[in-house]
Structure 1
Amino acid sequence: MTTGSRHVLKTGSGHALNWTSILVAIPVGFAATLVTLGFRLVIELINSLLFGSKQDVTQAIAVYPAYLWPLIVGVGGLLAGFFLRYATAIEKKETVRTDYLEVINARLDAVPTKTSLFRALSSIASIGSGASIGKEGPMVQLSALAGSLMGRFCFPRLALRNSDIVAMAAAAGLSSVYHAPLASAIFVAEIAFGISALQRLIPLIISSGVAVLTLWTLGYRSAIYPFSHAQFDLTPGNMLLTVVVGLLAGLVGGGMIWLIQQSRQRFSRVASLPLRLGLGGLIVGAMAIATPAILGNGYEVIVAIMAGGFMIKGLVILLVLKMLATAISVGSNAVGGLFTPSLLTGAVLGVLVAMLARLAGFPVSDPVIFAAVGMGAVLASVSQAPLMAMLMVLEMTLNSSLLFPTMIACVLATMTAYRLQVTSTYPVVKNHFSRSDAKFDFDNGIISQFIVSGAALKPEDPVGKALAVSTLKRERFVYVINDSGQFMGAVSIHDISHKVLDKEITLESPVSCVVDASFPTVYENQTITQGWEAFARVTLERLPVLNNPQERKYLGALTKTSLIQKAEAFL
């Protein structure tokens, strides 16, 4: 068995979600955008040369008489056909597929460069001459190619698969085409990764939509938090502040969960449940003397914050006391949710950070707008469900300008809480992450982590010794190595027994006369997944592990049981 061509890097993190992927996604997204812009410029240049205009081909082609239009489009198609024929010839010769989705699914090591470029030239010829096709296909393919090249040459030693970087580039390319970052990311997750949970999302959307439609029918049509009047300006200052809010929200969300855990431990000492809840209520009521805004779920307070009704001192007091009051109420076993308290804490945090930044001379256009950004970020941190948090803020405010900054803040908040190993308020989320991490470890682990020692004989050892070793180890096969430790093959105890009974050999015959030199093997630097695939092709319980295909030094054995136990964590 060969090592295979899949390129898997060792990871320094035990988590599938890590800062490395976030940091790599930034230059990959930037490069993908430049690629799509370059493609657009090429098409515009062709239009200028061919039609003398930068207008869309539907208007620009009018510069020629109508009877020439079929010729123009036809010649473009002919030229496109030559490029495509050359690309397909290369694909057949080298038995490769150009589709970036194949790379994302880890069926290919990298996006093929030559065929991608020739397919792009074919698309340019078709689009430039007016063929009725879209631009997004080749633009995303070229973006994926750029990501693949960056993964191979710019980030070869990072704990990321090339397929992961290609996925980032594909999502960025699609986003730059349609200006829809969230939809593009979901597309790659749903179509390329094949996440089955997204398929189960459809009936949930239907039932949720019916619920909202029912409310509208009954007259409840307004946004939960009317905030459509404010607009988030995409300035460098606002984006930097968004990053700060996101990171702080991760810390604040983690702090809230920690406070709740501490509160539960202390209230657990009170055996009587009524007394426990009564004590919690007493403490929260006393705290409300400082500011009654900490009482309740905080809906009206959020509305007041969005209206600019709090100063810095009041926001600081409200932030601290609301976190404590929530921890005390939840810790005393009060039945209720954390959604709105998290939203209120986030609104306070966002406005407070923005107001402090403005006080320090930082250019902030509207501090109140960061209330919504903070709401989504803290909710994402506490729930560790960033997609839900960003969409919820968008739907509750009906303010589309908040989508992009809320996305950034929610992702950063979730990452911060996750890397701090903060437990989600929903235990099922922890189970999802545990399974995800286990699957990540399985996909990225290497066989050397599972090597067990195993007996091996020399070629000159008698077959009787092989029978004795087999009886002791309860194995059907015994491995054979030479004096330098090189793997020579394996002997079958079943074959030895038959040959001895048939008097073809004796118990004193050397094992070299019955060794199977083509016995399947695996190598220490192969992935666990490749080891799994190796076992799927044979009916063996263990396989010999060698150092590499060239030296073939015997290191020990890989057992099927160890892989099954490893896979059990995510199955």
Structure 2
Amino acid sequence: MKIQNSSLSWHGLFLAIPVGIVGAGVTLLFRMLIALFNLAVFGRSDDITQAMQVWPWYCWPLIVGIGGAIAGGLLHFAVKFEKQTAIKSDYLDVINARLNAVPTGSSVLRACSSMISISSGASIGKEGPMVQLAALCGSWLARFVPKKFALANTDMVAMAAAAGLASVYHAPLASTIFVAEIAFGISALQRTIPIMLSAVTAVLTMWVIGFRSPLYPLMDVHFSIQTGPLIITVILAVFSGLIGFGFISLTQKSRQLFNRIPSLPVRLACGGAAVGSLAIITPAILGNGNEVIVNLFAGHYLLPMLLTLLGLKVIATSCSVGSGAVGGMFTPALMIGATLGGMCGIISQQLGITHASPWLFAAIGMAAVLSAISQAPLMAILMVMEMTLNSSLLFPLMIACVVATMVTYQCHSPTTYPLIGTHLSRANAKFTFDQTRISEVIIPGACLSPKDSVHQALNASGHKRERYVYIIDDKQRFLGVVSIHKIVEKVLAEDITLNSPVEQVMETDFPHVFQDQTLKQGWEAFSQVTLERLPVLNNPQQRQFVGALTKTSLIQQAESFL
């Protein structure tokens, strides 16, 4: 009977629809709570870069710092709760089948911590807690799914995570690819189908409510496939990769620096104070950077301001993330990329290299930097296309994201998401396994000549602890094997004596492998027999015996990716 794939069943598809609706609802609720918080603190519910200006500039470090302290206190309790339960709250761990469900307590505490950080102006994205809460709701819904549906909890969490991310950026396909790339790694296409439906349902829900327009409309300009724009795209991609590497490295160093402060509230307070101090130069670096991107596409910034925003945003986000503030890095990465791309576009226009709109390169920079930082190029390509609704960007986005990701990877950058490192390690281990030659792992085997006695075969077997003794001629050519069990059987039956030559009980048709074959081919050879060892020959023509391949050695080589 054919086994039904639960991820591709009708049950999974039908469940994806309510999960998508719930995911959209959670993100809307989180936005409303942030707006109410800002209304209470600043008297206005618009973007933090505008709301903060209600207070005088010398109060900004204090406000962001106090917010960091409160957020740190909540995060302290979340971490304490995780230590007590020995369960991490990251939804990615659940999707990767490391946890049975998303824990409620620590997830809510982390979301509250993130809300305080975001509302007080920390340079952090909103998508992190939104996706986490959506995943939590998906985990809750999974508890009420009948067992006969045979739908794994990880699939429900994956649907909800994609729905939450899609609701934030109105990018269902990019959200689907993100979950597939980051959480699943190399996964079957069937597993993404209910995730995609959930993400689409979430965006349709947002449209029904009234959120129909793309986040960054860029439909009135067209990218021309010409030499000048393509050269600028490649240059931008290289710089984006370097910026991505620098940002990840700076964030790691910032985290190491802030970790010297034992108290979470003090740690986040210091991070908030640092961001608030940078905001004195320009408050545009506060928050996730969405307002800056909108203004940038409207042409409100000149080259010096873009350069200032680029440098300060990298530092501010590194401080917020390094201090432990809970949130996402998507929108900050998009802002960094937009400023970098805008600079490249303006400079290329001034030099006469291209007459294309600089905001096209701003969009390309958004995807390139996001790709370099997240190391998920497919997601970055699709997300920027969905956010701008400009299909002419597909080709330059593909170039920019691939180049930027490769530059960051070649710089041996640490990974933003630990799961990426896990997937890369497994993929590298599998590649190494498939390419390693059998000759690199062979061991010596017990060998005799055809004229040697049965008694010598028994001694060799006892010394090497092998069931089979290999028989070779004077030119080291493999002739066959003798089975110790067969020898004992023949001796007891008095068909042979201990002094009989082993050629009387030799088996000439015995499975073997060659030294130039790969470990993968060796694995396939073992799958067809019940032996623990196989003789290894130099090549099919000479058939000289060079050693033995053991099943244990193969398992040891394969354990890093199995």
Scaled by the length of structure 2, the TM-score of the pair is 0.65
Equivalent residue for 1:327, pick from 318, 325, 330: 318
Q: Does 1:310 align with 2:293?
A: no
| Structure 1 residue matching 2:480: 3-state secondary structure | strand
Equivalent residue for 1:263, pick from 254, 257, 262: 254
For 2:450 and 2:239, locate their aligned partners in 1 and report how far apart those are by CA, in whole Å: 66
Aligned partner of 1:413 in structure 2 is 404
Q: Does 1:475 align with 2:483?
A: no
Q: Does 1:456 align with 2:447?
A: yes
For 2:511 and 2:312, locate their aligned partners in 1 and report how far apart those are by CA, in whole Å: 66
Provide Cα deviations, 1:274-330, integer angstroms capped at 9, x if missing partner.
110011111111112222221110001111222222222222222121111111110
Tell me the amino acid that sits aligned with residue 423 of structure 1.
P
Aligned partner of 1:439 in structure 2 is 430
Identity of aligned residues (%): 56
Provide Cα deviations, 1:142-195, integer angstroms capped at 9, x if missing partner.
xxxxxxxxxxxxxxxxxxxxxxxxxxxxxxxxxxxxxxxx99xx9xx9xxxxx7
Aligned partner of 2:518 in structure 1 is 527
Tell me the amino acid that sits aligned with residue 375 of structure 2.
Q
User: Whose RCO is larger (CA < 8 A, sep 6+)?
Assistant: 2
Tell me the amino acid that sits aligned with residue 471 of structure 1.
G
For 2:497 and 2:411, locate their aligned partners in 1 and report how far apart those are by CA, in whole Å: 65
Q: Does 1:425 align with 2:416?
A: yes
Q: CA deviation at 1:196?
A: 4.5
Aligned partner of 2:273 in structure 1 is 282
Aligned partner of 2:494 in structure 1 is 503
Q: CA deviation at 1:528?
A: 1.8
- Contact 2:385–2:391 under 8 Å retained in 1: yes
For 1:288 and 1:502, locate their aligned partners in 2 and report how far apart those are by CA, in whole Å: 94
For 2:554 and 2:502, locate their aligned partners in 1 and report how far apart those are by CA, in whole Å: 30
- Contact 2:314–2:336 under 8 Å retained in 1: yes
- Contact 2:446–2:461 under 8 Å retained in 1: no
- Contact 1:249–1:374 under 8 Å retained in 2: yes
For 1:447 and 1:416, locate their aligned partners in 2 and report how far apart those are by CA, in whole Å: 34
For 2:420 and 2:282, locate their aligned partners in 1 and report how far apart those are by CA, in whole Å: 34
| Structure 2 residue matching 1:489: 3-state secondary structure | strand
For 1:445 and 1:245, locate their aligned partners in 2 and report how far apart those are by CA, in whole Å: 38
Aligned partner of 2:59 in structure 1 is none
Give the gaps of 5 or more residues in structure 2. Answer: 1-172, 181-185
Q: CA deviation at 1:373?
A: 0.4
- Contact 2:448–2:472 under 8 Å retained in 1: yes
Q: CA deviation at 1:444?
A: 2.7
- Contact 1:377–1:410 under 8 Å retained in 2: yes
| Structure 1 residue matching 2:235: 3-state secondary structure | helix
Tell me the amino acid that sits aligned with residue 255 of structure 2.
R
Q: Does 1:210 align with 2:201?
A: yes
Matches within 5 A, 1:220-235: 220-235=211-226
| Structure 2 residue matching 1:368: 3-state secondary structure | helix
For 1:381 and 1:449, locate their aligned partners in 2 and report how far apart those are by CA, in whole Å: 36
For 1:246 and 1:511, locate their aligned partners in 2 and report how far apart those are by CA, in whole Å: 69
Tell me the amino acid that sits aligned with residue 544 of structure 1.
P
**Following TM superposition, where does structure 1 have runs of at least 4 consecutive aligned residues deviating by more than 6 angstroms?**
none
Equivalent residue for 1:200, pick from 187, 191, 202: 191
Aligned partner of 2:338 in structure 1 is 347
Cα–Cα, structure 1 residues 280 and 196, in superposed 2: closer, same or farther, change >3 Å? closer
Equivalent residue for 2:264, pick from 270, 273, 281: 273
- Contact 1:247–1:416 under 8 Å retained in 2: yes
- Contact 1:460–1:510 under 8 Å retained in 2: yes
Alpha carbon RMSD of aligned pairs, Å? 2.2
| Structure 2 residue matching 1:557: 3-state secondary structure | strand
Matches within 5 A, 1:83-94: none
Give the gaps of 5 or more residues in structure 1. Answer: 1-181, 190-194
Q: CA deviation at 1:504?
A: 2.1
Tell me the amino acid that sits aligned with residue 196 of structure 2.
I
For 2:347 and 2:542, locate their aligned partners in 1 and report how far apart those are by CA, in whole Å: 64
Q: CA deviation at 1:535?
A: 0.9
For 1:359 and 1:444, locate their aligned partners in 2 and report how far apart those are by CA, in whole Å: 50
Aligned partner of 1:402 in structure 2 is 393
- Contact 1:350–1:373 under 8 Å retained in 2: yes
- Contact 1:306–1:369 under 8 Å retained in 2: no
For 2:191 and 2:352, locate their aligned partners in 1 and report how far apart those are by CA, in whole Å: 49
